[in-house]
Amino acid sequence: MTYQTLISASELKSRAQYLNIVVVDCRHDLTNPAYGREAYAAGHLPQARFAHLDELLSGPKTDAAGRFHGRHPLPDRQQFVQAMRDLGINNDTQVVAYDAHGGMYAARLWWLLRWIGHSDVAVLDGGMAAWQALGETLTSETPAPAAPGNIQDLSSLVKTVDAQALLDNLKSQTLQVVDARAPDRFRGENETIDAVGGHIPGAKNRFFKDNLQADGHFKSATQLREEWLSVVGDPQAAVMQCGSGVTACHNLLALEVAGLPGAHLYPGSWSEWSSDPQRPVATGN
């Protein structure tokens, strides 16, 4: 049995010894980039390896021509494949990603592995808290260096769009854009991260935290499906975005859990879109 969306803490505990598995700690803090590595050193799941959002799960913010592509652009594809090999991931490895933030960073690794065609990747539902709730302990011991993995760059399991496609969509309205940021930032209020407040015209707002129950676990597939169908009629014609392409992956994961696959990611998201004054900006609801 493999896991391709979520895995519970109890499933991880009971099946880890039978699975070819690599556990990856994805904790991060957007305001303190050193936090994740420090938290990992203080205590992590046994045998877990660490992946830094800025270093492994993102690429340079500007390209060779100096064009800004957002705060967390996609990494170079081949460099990402090599980084996953360095973590010991093979083509047949079950990857489990976790964080302590409801999956907001772990979902980025989940999406990126699907981007290079690796389907057997799941987010630990409930994260570290769920693991500790079982009475399981953390460790500060760093696992021995992994034997290099052989994961390959295969056909992508996901879809993306760029800023030009969304500019064209302003006229055609064939794609429904969904913004994963908090409602106040979507409205253009309390913007503290990007230079301009607001959202892409025509976008709807679905705060990624609305995918979760109060205890930090994902809502049931049935509830997620009901809620998401009120946002997007056809997921194949939907585009998920957020501030920088990270929490949008949480919405993409929720759609998969709900049985509504096929939505696109706009990797540059609001940070890229708002950096060009020629692109229109909407505010309010």
Q: Label the pairing between strands 121-124 and 176-179.
A: unpaired
Which residues have a catalytic role annotated?
A: 242
Place of tokens 């093979």: 90
List the one residue out of 32, 75, 84 whose CA is nearest residue 55. Answer: 75
List the one residue out of 161, 51, 146 whose CA is nearest residue 107. Answer: 51
Taking each helix axis as running N to C, give the angle between helix 248-257 and helix 221-229, from 0 to 180 degrees, rounded to the nearest 10.
110
Alpha-carbon distances, residue 214 vs 106, 218, 278 (angstroms): 18, 9, 40
E strands in 112-258: 121-124, 159-160, 176-179, 204-205, 238-241
Q: From the CB of residue 259, how many other CB atoms can be counted at a distance below 10 Å?
A: 13
Q: What is the CA radius of gyration of the chain?
A: 18
Q: How far apart are CA 56 and CA 81, in angstroms?
A: 10
- Residue 251 near residue 266, CB atoms below 8 Å: no
- Residue 205 near residue 178, CB atoms below 8 Å: yes
Q: How far apart are CA 181 and CA 126, in angstroms?
A: 20
265: which 2 tokens? 């990611």
